[in-house]
Structure 1
Amino acid sequence: MKILTSNTDYKIKAVNNLVEMTIGEYVEIARVILKNNSLQRRRVTTSNKTYSLLKEDIKTGCVIPPIVLAFFPGEYDHKTDINEKNLIETLKILSKQLLILDGLQRTYTILDLYEEVKSDVHLFEKVLALPLRIEIYTGISKIGVLYRMLTLNTGQTPMSTRHQIEMIYSDYNKGFEDFIFLTEAENTTPSASNEFRFSEVIDGFISYITGDYLPIDKEDLISIIKNLENLTNDDLDKDLFKLFVKSFASLRDTLNKDSNNLVLESDVIKENNISQRPFGNSFLIIFSKVQVLSGYGAAINFLIENGLIKNLETIIELTGKIKITDPELSLLKMLQYLDFIVMNAKKIGNEQRMYFYYLIRSLFNENNEGYLDFDKSVEQANKFYKSNMLR
């Protein structure tokens, strides 16, 4: 096993080490990756005969395209350089903290072949001794992992973007710092300012990456990669997922505090001709829902892409400047507008996302009359929503 070259990937600010090892050496590493790394994606079942042919090609000594691995950020001191002196030891100790970014099916094919040729001693030794080139990324961020996974797998049958994001950020599935993420299994509603549903935060983050408040249907990977490029131009050294959660939490917390933790009583809701099953009865409840998170994510993407705000940190700074003159009136109006959507929309959830998309755009775009004025943003979002529905 030896390092052939080490080059800096300036796009994702990581080091790409091109390593040559034997198939036998790779088998030992691959087994650990697939067995112990819960983040690693699973085998894709396919009727394609390509990988059956690859087995036969390997037996004859074909050159296999490089397999791309990366040490998972957060599990490995990725600022430490890997060199020929510590490479073998590092790989042995930390194999379970590697991810296969490209070459999963080739890896399974190699492992299958390893088992199949065991009975033929001569062929077994020949296969184990064949050289294999492996690219190993070190110093890579989580968003860098996602970017490389998407670019490396474009044109193939990749995992869904959602699956990849869930995998990369699954070490946060219980929360981070003071934030608590609730799982689907817990079947509880966020009831504190530091609580979210993990699956709904993921949806919001996907909307932030894709720039679309709608659930992903048919993915346009090129468009997603382009959005990711725009978002990460200045933020490759930052944890965008954490910043996304913190920025949204700062908005929710501001609205909740400025309304003095307002909770609408059922008789107030009834007096204002609002459904007895309203979208929510407080800012905390409303701004914990996936429709708001998705609308928020897509709106922030729009604002950054169009140069209207710089980044997520800007949102955190601006939330402290938001004014809400009449919290109860604004909350009641918002619920009335959301009731209108329930009564008139064909796809209620999607159009609720659209309303909040416009609300956030109004709130943080200095060119809008609702800029940093929540009362006006509630009204302006309704106008934008109705205008869009008339097209």
Structure 2
Amino acid sequence: MSSLREMSFLENYEYEAHGDSMGQLLACYNKFSLKVSNLSGNWTFNQERLPEVSRPFGNSVTSIFSRTQPMAAFGAECKRLMEKGVYKNLDEILNAVEGLEFRKQPEESMDQLLLVLNQIGGKAKKIGDAQRFYFQLAFRELFLPDAAQYRDLSGAWTSAQEKYEMLYT
């Protein structure tokens, strides 16, 4: 059942000869992942900085964002933002990706993301579902123009954690 939910974000994305929305979604997500990696200076997990994290969600930006939970969450949130009329299409979301930045030290911010994911993994009954929902909240913070942490890769992780805890703990 969880696998079906992970892939449910694909439902309304379909191939069209004049505009392949699935291809656009994947290109947009790839651009997001590359942007975070570049801005973070190709951050990698360091056990000395995070001794409390014995099994990290990922050891690099690429390994974190190549997992199904953030991918599914990205697709779901893009779909939600377009349905709500915040963005007309994926090209507009791609433009928002271009404006992403770390307002604090990237290393500290990426370490914070791993700490949050570690805490979720330690508390959640259905870890994959919880992580996916957390990532969707984080993407909402990053891409919703009215959000307090709009385009801020430092603040989005902690803001999404606060919202996640209010809703699900």
Note if 1:243 corresponds to 2:45: no
Residue 266 (structure 1) aligns with: 47
- Contact map agreement 1:259 1:327 (CA 8 A) in 2: yes
Q: Which structure has the bigger radius of gyration?
A: 1
Q: Which has the higher strand share?
A: 1
Report the 3-state secondary structure (helix = DSSP H, G, I; strand = E; otherwise coil) of the residue aligned with 1:324.
Answer: coil
State the TM-score, normalizing by the size of structure 2: 0.89
Could you tell me which residue of structure 1 aligns to residue 128 of structure 2? 349
Whole-Å separation in 1 of the counterparts to 2:138 and 2:46: 24
Q: Which residue of 1 aligns with 2:93?
A: 315
The count of corresponding residues between Structure 1 and Structure 2 is: 163
| Superposed displacement of residue 373, structure 1 | 0.8
State the Cα deviation string for residues 165-206 of structure 1 (Å, max 9, x = none): xxxxxxxxxxxxxxxxxxxxxxxxxxxxxxxxxxxxxx55x4
Show structure 1 runs of 4+ deviating over 3 A: none
Structure scoring higher RCO (CA < 8 A, sep ≥ 6) equals 2
Partner in structure 2 of residue 287 of structure 1? 65
- 1:247/1:312 contact within 8 Å kept: yes
* Offset of residue 376 of structure 1: 1.2
Percent of aligned pairs with the same amino acid: 27
Aligned-pair CA distance for 1:313: 1.1
- Provide the rounded CA distance (Å) in 2 between the counterparts of 1:277 and 1:324: 25
For residues 63 and 125 of structure 2, the distance between their equivalents in structure 1, rounded to whole angstroms, comes to 24
Relative to the length of structure 1, the TM-score reads 0.40
* Structure 1 counterpart SS, 2:49: helix
Instruction: Map residues 18-29 of structure 1 onto 2, 5 A cutoff.
Output: none
Shift of 1:320: 1.2
Between the aligned partners of 1:288 and 1:319, the Cα distance in structure 2 is 17
Unmatched tracts of structure 1, length 5 or more: 1-161, 163-202, 210-227
319-328 vs 355-364, which moves further: 319-328
Choose which of 157, 161, 164 in structure 2 pairs with 1:382.
161
Could you tell me which amino acid in structure 1 is paired with residue 28 of structure 2? Answer: S
| 8 Å CA contact 1:321, 1:372 repeated in 2 | yes
Q: 1:207 Cα deviation (Å)?
A: 1.1
Q: Higher helix fraction: Structure 1 or Structure 2?
A: 2
The CA distance in 2 between the partners of 1:349 and 1:343, in whole Å, is 12
Contact in 2 for aligned 1:208/1:299 (Cα 8 Å): no
Match of 1:300 among 73, 78, 103: 78
